[in-house]
Amino acid sequence: MSKPKVASDWLAGCAGCHMSLLDMDERIVKVAELVDLRATPITDLKEPDASGVDVGILEGGVNNTTNEEVAHKMRKRCKYLVALGDCAVFGGVPAMRNFFTVEESLRRAYVETESTDENGRIPDDPELAVQTRVRALHEVVPVDLNVPGCPPDADVIFHVLSELAQGRKPVLTGKLLHWH
């Protein structure tokens, strides 16, 4: 049996879910032996044509058109898509912006703080062209497995990756999903 090809990426959020992968400590070596890692922001490993990926892992909420494009690209290129973390599952912390208008959020972040330039302007940056609300990943593309947590526990991530690497659909029981 060949190793499943795995790719991961993150959208709007803090990247804590990817950092939680590192909390697997030496178990990350075991997972690495079971999969063919094609792309991940953790190691800045990118494969320009990573089509035919077996498992795609996306972390973060969908906040702008770039996030939306990444989500569609990942869904198209992979057979099984995992939404990793609260931001991907239900919008998480980035969705807190949904309580304010885009203009109000940007004004508060860039004009009403001491960290802005002397002109007190919102930067002219395409990345700031955010959508009117942050959306969960499943609102944009079909998702095969939701792995909640902020970030998900390393044991949960290890379980999911191990099961997928062995060709099994992961089952997340209450025993795995708990608050610390």
Pick the more confident residue, 24 or 143: 143
Measured CA to CA in angstroms, residue 2 lies from 34, 35, 47, 169 at distances of: 9, 9, 19, 17
Query: Of 42, 168, 98, whose CA–CA distance to 57 is shortest?
Result: 42
Strand partners, 64: 130
What structural domains does the chain harbor? 5-103+131-165 (3.40.50.700)
59-116: per-residue pLDDT in tens? Answer: 999 988 889 999 999 999 899 999 999 999 999 888 888 888 888 888 887 788 776 6
* H or E segment to which residue 131 belongs: strand 130-135
Pick the more confident residue, 88 or 47: 88
Pick the more confident residue, 174 or 165: 165
Band the pLDDT of 117: cuts 50, 70, 90: low
Per-residue pLDDT, 15? 77
Structure tokens at 14: 């803090």
Identify whether 48 is preceded by a cis peptide bond (ω within 30 of 0).
Answer: no
Per-residue pLDDT, 88? 93
Percent of the chain with pLDDT over 90: 28
- The DSSP bridge pattern shows strands 53-59 and 5-10 to be parallel
Return the SS3 of 40: strand
Residues 107-143 as b or e (16 or more Cβ within 10 Å = b)? eeebeeeeeeeeeeeeeeeeeeebbebbbbbbebbeb
**Rounded CA gap, 154 and 8, in Å?**
16
Structure tokens at 5: 């090809």
User: For the residues 144-148, what does the mean pLDDT come to?
Assistant: 94
**Model pTM?**
0.82
Per-residue pLDDT, 174? 77
Angle between the N-to-C axes of helices 27-34 and 154-165, in degrees from 0 to 180, rounded to the nearest 10: 20
